[in-house]
Structure 1
Amino acid sequence: MTQEGAGGAASGLRAFTVRRGRAEDAAALADVFHSAVHGLASRHYTPEQIAAWCPEAPPPELFRQRVCDGRKLWVAADKADVAAAFIDLEADGHIDMLFCHPRAAEQGVAAALYGQLEAAAQRQGLVQLYVNASEAARGFFERQGFAVERRREVERRGVTLHNYRMVKPLA
């Protein structure tokens, strides 16, 4: 599925393709994660919290395992077929990760990824989706129909961060 991004020429990513993630995407996924935390989430968390959350790009092997562990994972790939964003869905309806590289932000990439995920969840017969959304992702998930159940405090490397337990019933 190809989606045209809404961003202008200065935004970097004008067109992208949503496809299933592959093991060979692992290094790009690690880069997207690190870049999103340091480039987008840093607007909502302190430098200390960002350093505790993601001090350096995680090893690609972590993402290679995620692609192959049974969860569903989609990427938004640029014209060179390099992942610029990704989302995953675990069998119980948990969305563990949604991250977008800053060069792909505000172009409809996350919405396109989420659309694929929700359609797959409905085909799978899931009755609910849930996520522990960062402050940066909370608004996005609210726009997709999720409601906040509660704010959560989590500790990473001795530093407290917060996120939000959010749920969405599926019809």
Structure 2
Amino acid sequence: MEIRPYVAADVAPTLAVFLEAVTVTAAADYSPAQVEAWARRDDRDVDTWHAARVATHTYVAEYDGAVAGFADIDGAGHIGMLYVAPAYGRRGVATALLHRLLRDAAAAGVDEVTTEASLTARPFFERHGFLVTARQRVRAGDVELVNFRMTLRP
């Protein structure tokens, strides 16, 4: 597996990973209406997706030449996205991506890393030392979802 910076050619594969992770993996923890509201398939376009990826430090995990996952962190130490394609789950992809993000945060002198973790992602972040600081109810369109504000002091 290789962890590398996001490049423009990754726009479609990372968007596909996001949609698959939300609609397949997260479907175990969220209702079909919540999954669809979160995925917002009709509202996603590659130009907006690409702009969001380059606005943060985004990394891609390649596994046997395929995009297996991606993650990003901003300059303040906030992890906005960490998604793995279901076919690559439980292979260390998320852990490798998280370690890369934490190295970036440490190099930037960030003393606190934060994220909003889904019900699905919460156990992963807890295994890596993140603590829940708040349970949140967020809206995706007209649907409410639960997630967790989490913090790590590396």
TM-score in same-fold range (> 0.5): yes
Give the aligned partner of residue 113 of structure 1.
97
Match of 2:57 among 69, 72, 75: 72
> Do residues 165 (structure 1) and 139 (structure 2) align?
no
C-alpha contact (below 8 Å) 1:146/1:167 kept by paired residues: yes
| Superposition misfits of 4+ residues, deviation over 3 angstroms | none
Cα RMSD for the two superposed structures = 1.2
- In 2: Cα distance, 1:134 partner to 1:62 partner: 22
- In 1: Cα distance, 2:114 partner to 2:35 partner: 23
Give the aligned partner of residue 16 of structure 2.
31
Indicate the SS of the match to 2:41.
Answer: coil
C-alpha contact (below 8 Å) 1:29/1:60 kept by paired residues: no
Indicate the SS of the match to 1:53.
Answer: helix
- In 1: Cα distance, 2:100 partner to 2:83 partner: 15
Q: Structure 1 unaligned segments of length 5 or more: list them.
A: 1-15
2:3 partner amino acid: V
Who wins on radius of gyration, i.e. which is larger?
Answer: 1
2:49 partner amino acid: F
Task: Work out the percentage of aligned pairs sharing the same amino acid.
Answer: 33
1:139 partner amino acid: P
> Do residues 95 (structure 1) and 79 (structure 2) align?
yes
> Do residues 153 (structure 1) and 133 (structure 2) align?
no
Q: Structure 2 unaligned segments of length 5 or more: list them.
A: none
C-alpha contact (below 8 Å) 1:24/1:64 kept by paired residues: no
- In 2: Cα distance, 1:83 partner to 1:62 partner: 19
> Do residues 47 (structure 1) and 8 (structure 2) align?
no
Moved more, 49-58 or 29-38: 49-58
Once the 2 structures are TM-superposed, how far is the Cα of residue 78 of structure 1 from its aligned partner? 2.5
Once the 2 structures are TM-superposed, how far is the Cα of residue 64 of structure 1 from its aligned partner? 1.3
Indicate the SS of the match to 1:96.
Answer: strand
- In 2: Cα distance, 1:121 partner to 1:55 partner: 30
